Structure 1
């Protein structure tokens, strides 16, 4: 940060000294636009240097990771090439770090959709991907299956409660768009809406 600030100051002072126009001993025209352009040019140079350094670091880390990964075997089954690898401790550490980051503040689990090109010897259309769901769960907490069961149970309970509270009979709207059949509710009448939502679900005792 100090080096970046110094480079900006040097560029600004150089532009100032080269482009400033003296009006008198104590007055001069300051070329603000030229100074700003000089500082922005330094910014672009620094960004390009950082981008290059980051790409080199990523390539170096990828090569180091590949060197540490051992291959146990190579098989071809149903036209698909399968590599059996031994992940090094560094890869395992990355998995754990990614899992912690993906969980974040989630109390139970997170589900992340991942799209990967199909690893196969067969020819497939360009841009065709296989879709996977990567689930990271806290040990001993609610699983996705248990969460779905809980949600479905709550849904069924609320559905039966709505069925008991909703009035029977069709809506009858007057000229003010109020339902005469169900306590003068304005359109759309909540009782009529409840009847529509429950129409496809028979009561439990009828199933």
Structure 2
């Protein structure tokens, strides 16, 4: 259980960090300017895994035919692999039985060595795939998140479901757009006018929401 918790924690951290990095890279923003706490990275990793798992499930439902063909192929492979053969039934070929004891031992050692040598590359490939998977999942989630937001941002401040904010400093407007990310030193927005991402220092910058909250009983225009 301790090992599973450790592996799960590292996996969530990798997914969350990769998702955050891919999201900002989509907008052309340096992720190093917006560091995240470990707790927030883990939370983002959790939501990234949930989101990608749901997409994978929907993909299976959309391709049930190919999924069934793959399942039949795996079943046939396991059937052939686990079928009893002369080599696995405990019998020894006549050629080996006629050899001296040392020759038989040498043959077994050689066979075992060649078997391990043949399996190791496949294990390395499988292990590499497992190690790369969290980063790939996180990157795909971050890019998908950015693409969904880009579609909304293109609608403009009036029609998008995401609220716009206006950045002011000393009464002077620095821009109007959608907040992408923020840190203690900088804030990133998608400028609604320039249609580009911008990174602005936070020093004495005021954020004003361009959308008033809907009061109880009022009608949202």
* Same fold at TM > 0.5: no
- Compare CA radii of gyration and give the structure with the larger one: 1
TM range (shorter): under 0.3
- TM-score normalised according to structure 2 size: 0.23
Higher relative contact order (CA 8 A, sep 6+): 2
- TM-score normalised according to structure 1 size: 0.25
Counting helix residues as a fraction of each chain, which structure ranks higher?
2
Counting strand residues as a fraction of each chain, which structure ranks higher?
1
